[in-house]
Amino acid sequence: MTTPPFSDEVLVAARAQAMELDLPQACVAGVISNTHVLQNYAALVMDFALPDTCEPAGDYTP
Amino acid sequence: MTRFASALGIAQDIRSGKRSAASIMQAVLSTINQHDAAIHSVTHLFAQQAMEQARAVDARLARKEALPPLAGVPFGVKDLFDIQGHVTTAGSIVLRNTPPAAQDAAIVARLRTAGAIPVATLNMDEFAYGFATDNAHYGITRNPHDTSRMAGGSSGGSAAAVAAGFLPLTLGTDTNGSIRVPASLCGVWGLKPTMGRLPREGAYPFSASLDVVGHFAGTLDDLMAAFYIMADSPAEPEPQNLRAACLGGWFAQNLSPALAAAIGRVCQHLGLSGTIELPQTPTARAASFLITAAEGGTLHLPRLRAAAEEYDPATRDRLLAGAMLPASTYVQAQRFRRWFRQQVHAIFEQVDVLIAPAVMCEAPRLDDPTVIVDGKPASARANLGLYTQPISLPGLPVLCLPLDNTGTLPLGLQLIAAPGREAALFSLARKLEQAGLAGRCPLNAQQAA
């Protein structure tokens, strides 16, 4: 059995609830739209295989 | 004539006694008051303080004191740099009731020590989140070359003020292209230095992993002089016999015909053939986008919980979406960043300077804010950073060079070097300037009147 993908609307509502973030109604459509854009970028980054030894660039220097 | 004068030329005129600092400042203020309504680059004028400081320069000269290198030179700052005694709003209204800055931002202080005088704060996208300088609170900055077109952003007021000849030197910040995009669209010189080379203290943050402070100038000499003053380091010799290469792949797609031709002329002049490709460029752009969204969103989340209605709606919704990104996405983007940096550094073992377009075309129209991507009209705001965002990720120094003699509205190139190698950028830019391929795009006679 496969889980159906979340819609961006459901995703935004769930994330806001988890953060106890009360999204004003005026924001909802815009946040969903921006979340959709970010989800596409996130897919690119998450699908890129990195070696386990590749650390986050928290101490980043150019 | 003060309008379009260079910073070094102004300093020389004052030092030689040809003109007084006060007369120059009066002329600058008069020009801004007379002409800024057409482009709306300025958000606040420090008229009285600037005149007082200019008279102080004249008094020092009268006492035969030695003057510092930029004595009496007017400059402007993006509205996110602290100016002592002035409230820093970062293009917002939500910060308008915060206390005035206790001291100048670090690079403002260094310019002041060099004798330069802050004259104005300049318009920006709210909290630097955008490429349009379309601010719900302070209005739209228009392109001085054609006021029906975008100036670019987020440091659009800074680029436009130089392009219009109001100020010879302005400060900006660049997270994903906020110096390079407006420099390209307005036809002026812009520098995003190596990350960390200029101090960020006193510049309102956006994305700590990517924010870089930098500047705009009307001439290459002014750009270089201001850089070394702000870096608090002596000017470095310009290296010769540089190895340059054009970036291909992602950076050769979606170019307007005029820009493709201009890049071709640059390559021909430099004797370049073939191109280099950056690995995983779309993913680099994505990582830069995600890091910015997550860090910006997290920074603003407490204030958004309390006063979301005081934000520009477009900024607010982007920040909220960013604040809700999962930690795993952010951490993976930072891991990719480290990997990408290693790949890019390896490329700089083969070349000294990479050449890439800054923006794919001339400034889009305000009433039709689109660019052509993959053969179709697409949102300009979402795509003006197509070539700048991937380059932001590794923290490299990038000079945005105004292409000359293109027969179009301004077009810009990115010159990109290894970390700390700004001198290589200056050297190649000089070569292109001397060949007549680079230089500030002049306004037409009517716009400059």
pLDDT of residue A1 exceeding 60, the answer is no
Residue A52 forms part of a structural domain: no
B310, B320, B331: best mutation site toward chain A, by most A Cβ within 10 Å? Answer: B320
Strand residues in B23-152 grouped as ranges (E): 42-45, 74-78, 117-122, 134-135, 139-140, 142-143, 146-150
The chain-wide mean pLDDT, for chain B, equals: 97
Interface A-B, measured as beta-carbon pairs within 8 A, has a size of 118
CB contact under 8 A, A26 and B314: no
User: Which residue among A19, A27, A55 places its CB closest to the CB of B335?
Assistant: A55
Of A4-8, B19-23, B122-126, the one with minimum mean pLDDT is: A4-8
**What's the domain range around A15?**
8-41
User: Which residue among A12, A41, A58 places its CB closest to the CB of B286?
Assistant: A41
Domain covering B244-448 assigned CATH 3.30.70.3270 in the classification: no
Q: Indicate if B16 belongs to the active site.
A: no
Residue A32 forms part of a structural domain: yes
- Per-residue confidence band for A5, with pLDDT thresholds at 50, 70 and 90: low
CB contact under 8 A, B317 and A60: no
CB contact under 8 A, A33 and B317: yes
User: Which residue among B280, B308, B339 places its CB closest to the CB of A27?
Assistant: B308
CB contact under 8 A, B339 and A54: yes
Determine the residue of chain A that is closest to B382 in CA distance: A37
Which architecture characterizes domain B7-230 according to CATH?
Alpha-Beta Complex (3.90)
Number of Cβ within a 10 Å radius of residue B65: 11
Read off the pLDDT of residues B340-372 as tens digits, 9 standing for 90 and up: 999 999 999 999 999 999 999 999 999 999 999
Conformation bin of residue B183: beta by default, left when phi > 0, alpha when psi is -120 to 50: alpha
Residue A62 forms part of a structural domain: no
Residue A47 forms part of a structural domain: no
Using CA atoms, how far residue B362 sits from B38, B121, B146, B152, B298, in Å, is 20, 26, 11, 11, 34
pLDDT of residue B35 exceeding 70, the answer is yes
CB contact under 8 A, A35 and B321: yes
Q: Indicate if B256 belongs to the active site.
A: no
Residues in A whose CB is inside 8 Å of some CB of B read 12, 15-16, 19, 21-24, 26-27, 30-31, 33-35, 37-38, 40-42, 44-46, 48, 50, 54-58, 60-62
What's the confidence (pLDDT) of residue B212?
98
Three-class SS state of A59: coil
Q: Indicate if B78 belongs to the active site.
A: yes
Of the candidates B217, B257, B216, B253, the residue with the CA atom closest to the CA atom of residue B407: B257
Percent of chain B with pLDDT over 90: 96
Read off the pLDDT of residues B225-283 as tens digits, 9 standing for 90 and up: 999 999 999 999 989 899 999 999 999 999 999 999 999 999 999 999 889 999 999 99
Tell me which amino acid residue B188 is. Answer: V
Residue A2 forms part of a structural domain: no
Determine the residue of chain B that is closest to A42 in CA distance: B329
What's the confidence (pLDDT) of residue B294?
98
Residue A54 forms part of a structural domain: no
pLDDT of residue B445 exceeding 80, the answer is no
Domain boundaries, chain B: 7-230, 244-448
What's the confidence (pLDDT) of residue B1?
73
User: Which residue among A27, A37, A45 places its CB closest to the CB of B329?
Assistant: A45
Q: What total number of domains does chain A contain?
A: 1
Read off the pLDDT of residues B292-333 as tens digits, 9 standing for 90 and up: 999 999 999 999 999 999 999 999 999 999 999 999 999 999
- Per-residue confidence band for A2, with pLDDT thresholds at 50, 70 and 90: low
What's the confidence (pLDDT) of residue B343?
97
Read off the pLDDT of residues B119-143 as tens digits, 9 standing for 90 and up: 999 999 999 999 999 999 999 999 9
Give the dihedral of Cα atoms B312, B316, B318, B322; nearest 10 deg.
150
Residue A49 forms part of a structural domain: no
